[in-house]
A and B are shown apart, each in its own frame.
Chain A
Amino acid sequence: MSAAETTEAELSSIPEGESAGQIAWRMFRANSLARVSLVVIHLLFGLAVFAPLIANGRPLFLRAFDTSAYEGDVAAFVDWHARLLDTQRALNQGVGVTQAQRLERDRARFQQGLPRVLRRIGGHLPRVDRADFGLLREDYVAAVGRLELEQIEALGAELTREYCARSALAAYKQAAVPLLEVGPWSESLDDALHDEELQAVARVRSEGAQLAERVASGLAAFARFRTADEQTALGDLAGPLLAGLRSGESGAEPRQLRTWTRELEQALDAAVAQPVPAAAQVLPPVIAFPALRHLSGVEVAFIVLYLLLSGMWLASRVTRTWSGGKRALVLLAPSVVLGGLFHLVCPPTFPPGDSFYKALAVEVARDDTGTSAVVFPLVPFGENENIYQDRHTPPALWEGVQLRAWEAARERASARGEPVEDLPRPPCARRFQEPGEAPLSPNDVRDRWSRLRSHWLGTDGNGRDVLTRLIMGSRVSLSVGFVSVAIYLFIGIVLGAISGYFRGWVDIVISRFTEIVICFPRLPLIIAVMALFDKPSIFYIMGIIGLTSWTEVMRLVRGEFLRLGGLDFVAAARSQGLSSARILFRHLLPNAMGPVFVAGAFGVAGAILVESALSFLGFGVPPPQASWGSVLHDSRGQEQVLWWVTIFPGLLIFVTVTAYNLVGEGLRDALDPRLRQ
């Protein structure tokens, strides 16, 4: 097809009254690679925006029993009760005026607070118990209201004992403290030289009976929530201890008591680690959304914006009501806005996922009543969650492939009647086998594999999930491109416009300066400047890329302005007496923007590359934060061991850069009429 024919065909296909922008967009749309790239970029930004909901160490949804709330309330009750008593006693003894006022204020606080706490505790309790404790509680509240010391003390003690049923361990431990203080420093009683130790021994000997009472009541309270078997077991374990305590001076050696206490405590600890079925059925479950709760307002706003714009774009595609240009704007806008604002308003770090939730999830998984549930995000790891035993885990799929191959080989071998144990194991199977353990069967391994499947792209040398870090890092890597390009477009356009429009010595000065900046090799200059900062930060990277890369844009804009300045429409505008600023911004600048857009699209790709290179060299984001380059940096020096840490971030950078380059290419083809052939 000759050039003339093309132009003719093009001319005939142009609808009447189509603006330059519409033509450019039509040309751009005709480029399918560029369109696909635009969608890829959009999706990548979606990944960045939704990162906390896609990859997070916290559950998205959680329904469980909040045992800690009950214990906390009981502890508050015990504390306030004691302090109320102290306050009242102090007041009764008589103190100065100011102190009395302060004490009365405290007392009033406790008087009001205690009934509230009691009500809250009641709310946590099973209905049966609630009725039992109801009368007691009312009596106590009444006594508190009347400030009758003895009654408060007696009723409070009883309440404490009852309430401590759930937190009995705390009560018991409190009681057993003097026992544990015996002999922590020396092996036998004869070496008991420390004063504290001697005092503790004396106290245990003299107060043995009271201690025994307290320990026994704590234990009894605890046992109420146990099964009959467990109760007997605890009784057996506690028997000698209590007997020894009760016999006082003549009783067992304090050190022996301590040993018993230790054993008992370990047993209790073990018992508490098990779920409490009785409570689970009656305590009201707590429903929470931890991951959502940790979203900042800005993040929510961006998510809403993204959804809105994507929805609008989809709607326009379906109904075909909008022109292409508007649709392109809608598709581009979120990327531009998000990229530009992401980091300026919300920090890219996300607090590391709490191990608390992980432990909770295990507990929930063990609960067979079906009332509790936990939903983790797709990738259930925090950005900086070190799971030490999981480090160097290869991608789950890879392990699965290896294990399947092993299994198949074993099956073939057993079908042929050969011994299966001689087959070489894949390294991951070896990893699961503890030293001294019997060899694993493939089924065992596969179970374990399913447990580990969650590390889709494996873990790095610190046991951090690579996929999570890549998803979180996309925020840094994507926004760096946009912000730095925005900075240098601004500088370049302003300087270029000034020197191209005013010419003369202004032009000479600015051009000289530009030439000086051009002469510095870009990457070494950026590295050198980055190294000057003691604390690297993503903002410095953006700023430095912006401040060092504007020269090309400046030359482009200057050239365009020099070219346009000689054209008739500028002369016409001048002859109308328009101000310089108006001619500059309304007449010249819009006409000069084409090449700038192209440079910008390529520039984003370049900036992403520079940021990745900086992070790769270790000058990028500060360590716990992730960017694609810094994930790649984590594999430096052990590329062969951590091949997955080498491949995937690079792939992501490559895809992004290619997408931006394709968009730039498409833009250039669309905006530069010379290349339309």
Chain B
Amino acid sequence: MWKYLVKRLLLMALTLFGISVLCFLIVTMAPGDPAAMKAQALASGGQSNLDEQTLRKNQELYYLDRPTFLNTRPPTRTTTVAVTLEELDDEENEYLRKDALARLRGTIGTAALDLLIPELAPRVERATARKAQLDEQFEALRGADAATARTALALEWGRFEPQLPPGSEDAAWADAWERRKPNLVAVVEAPARRLLEVLTGIVGAAGPKLAGDASLDEAREAWASWWSEHAADYGPEQVDAVVDAWLGKGAVPLTEEDAAADAELNALKRVGQLAVPSLMDAMLGAESETTERQAAFGLAAVARKPWDLTIDPKERQGFVNEWETARKARLRSWREAVVKRAEKRADRKLSDAEKAALDYPSDEEILASYPEQEAFVAERVDETLARHRYRWEDWWYRAEEYYVDFSGGRQFTRAFAQTQFGRWFSRLLVFDLGESYKQKRPVSEIIWDAFKKTLQLNVLAILLAYLFAIPLGVYSSVKRGSLGDQVSTLSLFLLYSVPSFWAGAMLILLFTGPPFWEVFPAHHLSSLDAETYTGWGQFTDRLWHLVLPVAALTYGQLAYISRQMRTGMLEVLGQDYIRTARAKGLSQAVIIGKHALRNALIPILTLMGGILPMLFAGSVIIETIFTIDGLGKVFFDSILSRDYPLIMAILMISAFLTLLGILVSDIAYAVVDPRIEYR
């Protein structure tokens, strides 16, 4: 049996992988760019003009700039810097150029210094060579073969060509070109100048001092000598020393003045992004919270991100204020609910005097279940910290390639991991379902909230279905051919054919409104003012709301299960051992209850496998009709708003549950029925 189990589990893992691939495929097949949609969803107030920048940022955020399934060139630090340098020289796309500049100066920073400084010399040389060539060409303009030289220049520098009237003198042409020479030189020098700009931006005041009009050669000299002096400052030993010093400090500056005066922090800032990998390691592998906080603070300083793990007094005060506001709102809304209920009972608006005379609970009573300030703040702090940790991990997943040169093995795994699917799947493996585009909350949180409601609905429905279906099936099979059997069989058959959405609509039509009976509420799972009810009141209110949706969910199941039960029971009743039991003179009750029913229940086990996924997302239509904010409705809404993380997560989970259900029912089958052999 264990062998069988292990085999099944292995197969299950395979199937799960297949499921995730299929799920991913379905969603990536979708027309429309999710990044664009996401950006549109973000653009508030009807501002939907998306510029390239937002789009690209979003694509990066959702990994849409990566290949779908296989990354043949997984980026590593060297290639990333090279690609960014290429983008820096892109003459066509100004946005790319600016973005590359910002990335080199801001994100990659000192981590690329050792790659960028050697790049300076060739660039300067190239610029010098081109300048010399230019000088020659300009000389030729004044020479004998001026026309040819002019054509050559015009061909090369088309957009700078001066416009002169036809038949102008050679000298005039030469003068005109001469006036444009500074522009040409600027273009020629641009790559080198841009790199210089990057370098100055990275190193800042610590870099070589250069005059504003320094020539390229001077700059190259200055940077070369600076680097020969300071290379050690940016070497691994120095970086490790600085990081260790910072981590060993064990305290973070809470105010800006403190931060400015903090020697270790300043040292860290000077080392810059080079310290990111070791800080990240320190943070992820931190054993104590203090170390983690220390590392995160340093990381936030060098990587220029706002997600440090330090809650300073100002932030804490913000949470306290929040608590205060929420508390006030709760008191107010409670009073309003009391008034509303009284008005509903009286069926008219109440005057102010009457309102004042109402029996309000005291503040203490209302706030009985309200969290204390400390607990509230602690919870918010935990939430914030968790969010920030999540952000750091998320960021590091992509940004690692800026700072680290990966080994061959890691390069290989990254060929699969650095893809859209790889990213989604690797997060799935650690049960990270991502964040909803629309609601800006973690998907798992949304699903859990909705699942709690769906569970109430479906557990009740399934319980009721089995509770009624099994006796009904037994009854009609035992009393086969009787009037009762015929009536129940036919009515169950008809019930089975009733579309559930119609049943829901008919229940609403019949039981919730003026033309017919107004007995049950039509929507939601609780009254609007349910909060003010007592515990028992809330319970009955909930039950009252559940009646119609549960009825609409139950009848189909009921019909199906009892038909299965009847068939199974009939088959069993025809068996020899039942005849034997009868021949032994056993009572009908024992025959049915002990011999027949037990065996007839075995096929029902197969149906049980379907319960798990049904509990999860088996009520999309009913929840939509009855406006219950359960998983079904969440799924439906997420489809309407194309909230892909949510869609994928719900599909994925219910597929997984189906698989689990099949496995469980198979095993149960094998356990219950000894005739079944494991293969």
Which residues of A come within 8 Å of B, CB atoms? 3, 512-513, 515-521, 523-525, 527-529, 531-534, 605, 609, 612-613, 616-617, 629, 632, 635-636, 639-640, 643, 646-647, 649-650, 653-654, 657-658, 661-662, 665, 677
Map CB proximity to A onto B5-26 as digits: 1 under 8 Å, 0 otherwise. 0000001001100110011001
A640 to B514 alpha-carbon distance, docked (Å): 7
Q: Are A653 and B639 in contact (CB under 8 A)?
A: no
Q: Given the complex, which residues of B lie within 8 Å of A513, measured CB to CB?
A: 18
Q: Are B654 and A521 in contact (CB under 8 A)?
A: yes
What's the nearest-Cβ distance from chain A to residue B20, in Å? 10
Q: Are B514 and A524 in contact (CB under 8 A)?
A: no
CB-CB nearest in chain A for B496: A661
Q: A527-B620, A640-B514 are in contact. List 19 more A-B contacts (CB 8 A).
A: A512-B14, A512-B18, A520-B651, A520-B654, A521-B613, A521-B655, A524-B635, A528-B27, A529-B26, A605-B497, A613-B621, A632-B502, A639-B508, A640-B509, A646-B502, A654-B498, A654-B499, A658-B493, A661-B496
Q: Are A647 and B18 in contact (CB under 8 A)?
A: no
Q: Given the complex, which residues of A lie within 8 Å of B574, measured CB to CB?
A: 3, 677
B31 adjacent to chain A (CB < 8 Å):
yes
Q: Are B18 and A516 in contact (CB under 8 A)?
A: yes
Identify which of A525, A532, A643, A650 contacts B502 (C-beta below 8 A).
A650
A3 to B26 alpha-carbon distance, docked (Å): 52
Q: Given the complex, which residues of B lie within 8 Å of A665, measured CB to CB?
A: 493
B172 adjacent to chain A (CB < 8 Å):
no
B618 adjacent to chain A (CB < 8 Å):
yes
A-B contact pairs, 14 of them (CB 8 A): A516-B15, A524-B654, A525-B26, A531-B640, A617-B621, A617-B624, A617-B636, A640-B508, A640-B514, A640-B515, A646-B502, A657-B497, A657-B499, A658-B493
Identify which of B29, B516, B655 contacts A532 (C-beta below 8 A).
B29
A520 and B22 contact, Cβ closer than 8 Å, known pairs A527-B620, A636-B505, A646-B505: yes
A2 to B494 alpha-carbon distance, docked (Å): 29
Q: Given the complex, which residues of A lie within 8 Å of B23, measured CB to CB?
A: 520
A299 to B206 alpha-carbon distance, docked (Å): 85
Q: Which of B243-279 contact A (CB under 8 A)?
A: none
Q: Given the complex, which residues of B lie within 8 Å of A527, measured CB to CB?
A: 620, 635-636, 639
A532 to B640 alpha-carbon distance, docked (Å): 10
Q: Given the complex, which residues of B lie within 8 Å of A529, measured CB to CB?
A: 26
A370 to B402 alpha-carbon distance, docked (Å): 91
Q: Are B19 and A516 in contact (CB under 8 A)?
A: yes
A531 to B654 alpha-carbon distance, docked (Å): 18
Interface size of B in residues (CB-CB distance below 8 Å): 54
Q: Are A640 and B512 in contact (CB under 8 A)?
A: yes
Q: Are B647 and A528 in contact (CB under 8 A)?
A: yes
B658 adjacent to chain A (CB < 8 Å):
yes
Identify which of B497, B508, B515, B654 contacts A654 (C-beta below 8 A).
B497
B642 adjacent to chain A (CB < 8 Å):
yes
CB-CB nearest in chain A for B647: A528
A643 and B621 contact, Cβ closer than 8 Å, known pairs A632-B505, A650-B499: no
A657 to B495 alpha-carbon distance, docked (Å): 11
B396 adjacent to chain A (CB < 8 Å):
no
Q: Are B496 and A612 in contact (CB under 8 A)?
A: no
- A-B pairs, top 4 by smallest CB distance, nearest first, are A650-B502, A640-B513, A519-B655, A658-B497
B506 adjacent to chain A (CB < 8 Å):
yes
Q: Are B499 and A521 in contact (CB under 8 A)?
A: no
A654 to B620 alpha-carbon distance, docked (Å): 20
B659 adjacent to chain A (CB < 8 Å):
yes
B30 adjacent to chain A (CB < 8 Å):
yes
Q: Which of B649-669 contact A (CB under 8 A)?
A: 650-651, 654-656, 658-659, 662
CB-CB nearest in chain B for A660: B497
A609 and B22 contact, Cβ closer than 8 Å, known pairs A617-B624, A640-B515: no
Q: Are B651 and A524 in contact (CB under 8 A)?
A: yes
Q: Are A532 and B30 in contact (CB under 8 A)?
A: yes
B617 adjacent to chain A (CB < 8 Å):
yes
B501 adjacent to chain A (CB < 8 Å):
yes
A512 to B15 alpha-carbon distance, docked (Å): 7
What's the nearest-Cβ distance from chain B to residue A669, in Å? 12
Q: Given the complex, which residues of B lie within 8 Å of A533, measured CB to CB?
A: 31
A519 and B19 contact, Cβ closer than 8 Å, known pairs A534-B31, A605-B497, A639-B513: yes
Q: Which of B496-545 contact A (CB under 8 A)?
A: 496-502, 505-506, 508-509, 512-516
A534 to B655 alpha-carbon distance, docked (Å): 25
CB-CB nearest in chain A for B655: A519
Q: Are A520 and B509 in contact (CB under 8 A)?
A: no
Q: Given the complex, which residues of B lie within 8 Å of A534, measured CB to CB?
A: 31-32
CB-CB nearest in chain B for A643: B509
A523 to B31 alpha-carbon distance, docked (Å): 21
Q: Given the complex, which residues of B lie within 8 Å of A528, measured CB to CB?
A: 26-27, 639, 647, 651
A646 to B509 alpha-carbon distance, docked (Å): 8
Q: Given the complex, which residues of B lie within 8 Å of A616, measured CB to CB?
A: 501, 621
Q: Given the complex, which residues of B lie within 8 Å of A521, measured CB to CB?
A: 613, 617-618, 651, 654-655, 658
Q: Given the complex, which residues of B lie within 8 Å of A661, measured CB to CB?
A: 493, 496-497
What's the nearest-Cβ distance from chain A to residue B618, in Å? 7
A658 to B515 alpha-carbon distance, docked (Å): 29
What's the nearest-Cβ distance from chain A to residue B428, in Å? 15
Q: Given the complex, which residues of A lie within 8 Å of B493, measured CB to CB?
A: 658, 661-662, 665
A513 to B18 alpha-carbon distance, docked (Å): 8
Q: Given the complex, which residues of A lie within 8 Å of B620, measured CB to CB?
A: 523-524, 527
Q: Are B621 and A635 in contact (CB under 8 A)?
A: no
CB-CB nearest in chain B for A651: B502
Q: Are B639 and A650 in contact (CB under 8 A)?
A: no
Q: Are B497 and A519 in contact (CB under 8 A)?
A: no
Q: Given the complex, which residues of A lie within 8 Å of B570, measured CB to CB?
A: 677
Q: Given the complex, which residues of B lie within 8 Å of A613, measured CB to CB?
A: 499-501, 621
A210 to B516 alpha-carbon distance, docked (Å): 73
Q: Are B15 and A531 in contact (CB under 8 A)?
A: no
